Chains A and B, each alone.
Chain A
Amino acid sequence: MSEAAPAPARAPLSDQVMIDMQGVHKWYGAFHVLKDINLTVHKGERIVICGPSGSGKSTTIRCINHLEEYQRGQIVVDGQALTNDVKQIERIRREVGMVFQHFNLFPHLTVLENCTLAPIWVRKLPRQEAEEIAMRYLKRVKIPEQAGKYPGQLSGGQQQRVAIARSLCMNPKIMLFDEPTSALDPEMIKEVLDTMVALAEDGMTMLCVTHEMGFAKTIAHRVIFMDGGEIIEQNSPQEFFSNPRSDRTKLFLSQILRH
């Protein structure tokens, strides 16, 4: 289990630590879901987390914006310690965008309103400025023409791109993706992945739980493999895919790369 060096082809990372998880443990009742998670993420770093279902990968990234509580260890996000203080949690959540497997768009609001809600109510931006920002990001995810529609009128891929735009409107420093393409038809996976690649090229710090190994190979600085609530292995994508160290990783890779 070695600390991964960034892939040579990618620009060197800054020294600035964006996320620092130290000895994080979590239990659901008696069930030990996260076991001693240590993870340091630098500014601009892109990390892909993979592993079988129930391995704790979603739980890990959901701890970073405190959607999940944890019982032991500490997490520092952008220099601010994550505590149980509600105000502090909200302050951190403003800087951390999240994209969910099931999009979780607000169905009673239009696409534009979905994007302007948090800038207006959390960042206190004037409506007009929030709408300009929203339109800029909707253009960036290539669906400005859908701004007036409701989420229920869009395809899954479009909805997920709106969800990405909605997060970006808060101008976050970190983006968390929780299986963003798992609920999509194959045809729509590409449009969402393309959006994420474009985001990566702009230098966003990203943590992505996904099984899209092609995506991991192209953009990740580091691939993390989790099983049974532990980080089993982490390495650069080249090393991870061509030379996995643990048997568990080999088994997992042989199963998902078979077809």
Chain B
Amino acid sequence: MAEPHVPHPDLPPPASAVGALGWLRRNLFSSPLNIALTALALYLLVTLIPPLLRWALLDATWSGEDRAACRVNSGACWTFIRVHFDQFLYGFYPEAQRWRVNAVVLFLIFGAVPLFLRSVPDSLKLRWGLGLLLAFPVVAFLLLRGGLGLPVVDTSSWGGLLLTLVIAGVGMTAALPLGVLLALGRRSDMPAIQTLCVTFIEFWRGVPLITVLFMSSVMLPLFLPAGMNFDKLLRALIGVTLFQAAYMAEVVRGGLQAIPKGQIEAAAALGLGYWKSMLLIVLPQALKLVIPGIVNTFIALFKDTSLVLIIGLFDLMNIVHNATTNPEWLGFSTEGYVFAAAVYWLFCFGMSRYSQKLEKRLHTGHKR
């Protein structure tokens, strides 16, 4: 009779393979080259971080109401940002009416809460989201622009972060569906539609956004009948949307091409027509695949909104720039641009993180 086999007990791994020591060894000191790079990185951190901290925090000025307050300390003058903060947020929006901007933001935040709750069923989320998508622009337009008893605030006084968010928000929500339609059109069997979409995409992708904005603000009025003048902001919005839709179309097309033909055949064999099979089967899968590309385009769009400064709109970038040229506050452009960069970064990084979460949540463990 053979002895029953007793498995060897598990031994603890050597100290050098696990824990903090193992991590250091694997990631920082695994080869001579890595040791050299680690040393170099440490040297750079030691030389760069302390002066940066001293400028931005330790020697910085936070208080005071004018530039005289910033004469004492050698560091950054955050007073400049504090004094101009409201202007950076709202532009030249009349102070007494700024509650309307805040109301729009609150409406959006509270309206969007159910979309982010796990406990709300997806079908309800879809309906709620569509409702919000229809209601929000109307509410936002009425509140921001005025009418129905509210005093009208002309779009020329919108500015700062408000304007940046309006352009980016409208651009994103309009460019995505338009881009999807263009992508579907480009893959259409119908030659007329295909040619139309290809021409549109190639035209808008072939010109720089600056040119588009210039054309919309300088050239377009020349072609319009005298006396007819439509809003400068609206023209910029249309320009940005069409421009980004062309990029979006190519991103979405990449996703469409990745969907196996069998999916469309299976949908067809069940009797689903073109639009149903696209909306229910192909697009949900294709859009999920290209979330990174879509967010990439969104982020690019968000930053590209700063180009509207060349047609005289005061978005965040332009209003900061404007404040730095104020004779009373000359010499603080570094603080201004650092602040603008930080705000842009915050929004872009937020989008990036959200898209990563979304990708994980939508993953259903399939390979095909």
Contacts and interface: CB of A to CB of B under 8 A. Distances in A.
A65 interface: yes
Interface string A197-228: 00000000000000000000000000000000
Contacts of A107: 285, 364, 366, 368
Contacts of A98: 266, 269
A15 to B, nearest CB: 27
Contact of A151 (B269, B274, B284, B366): B366
Interface residues of A, number: 29
B271 A67 contact: no
B263 interface: yes
A117 B270 contact: yes
Nearest to A120: B280
Given A108-B284, A108-B285, A121-B280, A96 B269 contact: yes
Interface stretch (A41-49, A86-94, A251-259): A86-94
A152 B364 CA distance: 7
Nearest to B123: A127
B270 A166 contact: yes
A130 interface: no
B273 interface: yes
Contacts of B288: 108
A65 B364 CA distance: 30
Contact of B269 (A91, A97, A106, A108): A97
A121 B368 contact: no
B272 A104 contact: no
A153 B285 CA distance: 17
B263 A106 contact: yes
Interface residues of B, number: 25
Given A90-B271, A93-B271, A150-B366, A104 B276 contact: no
Contacts of A11: none
Interface in B275-293: 276, 280-281, 284-285, 288
A150 B280 CA distance: 16
Given A104-B262, A106-B263, A117-B280, A153 B269 contact: no
A81 interface: no
B154 interface: no
Contacts of B274: 86
Contacts of B269: 65, 67, 93, 96-98, 100, 167
A108 B364 contact: yes
Contact of B272 (A108, A118, A150, A153): A118
B343 interface: no
A102 interface: yes
A117 B273 CA distance: 13
Contacts of A93: 268-271
A94 B266 contact: no
A122 interface: yes
Contacts of A163: 266
Given A104-B262, A108-B288, A152-B367, A67 B268 contact: yes
A170 interface: yes
B112 to A, nearest CB: 23
B227 interface: no
B262 to A, nearest CB: 4
A163 B267 CA distance: 12
A157 to B, nearest CB: 16
Contacts of B365: 150, 152-153
Contacts of B265: 67, 100, 104
A102 B362 CA distance: 23
Nearest to A102: B262
B295 to A, nearest CB: 19
Contacts of A170: 270-271
Contacts of A86: 273-274
Given A104-B260, A106-B281, A118-B270, 9 more contacts: A93-B270, A96-B269, A98-B266, A98-B269, A102-B368, A104-B262, A105-B266, A108-B284, A117-B270
Those 5 A-B pairs whose CB atoms lie nearest each other, nearest first? A152-B366, A107-B366, A104-B266, A118-B270, A104-B262
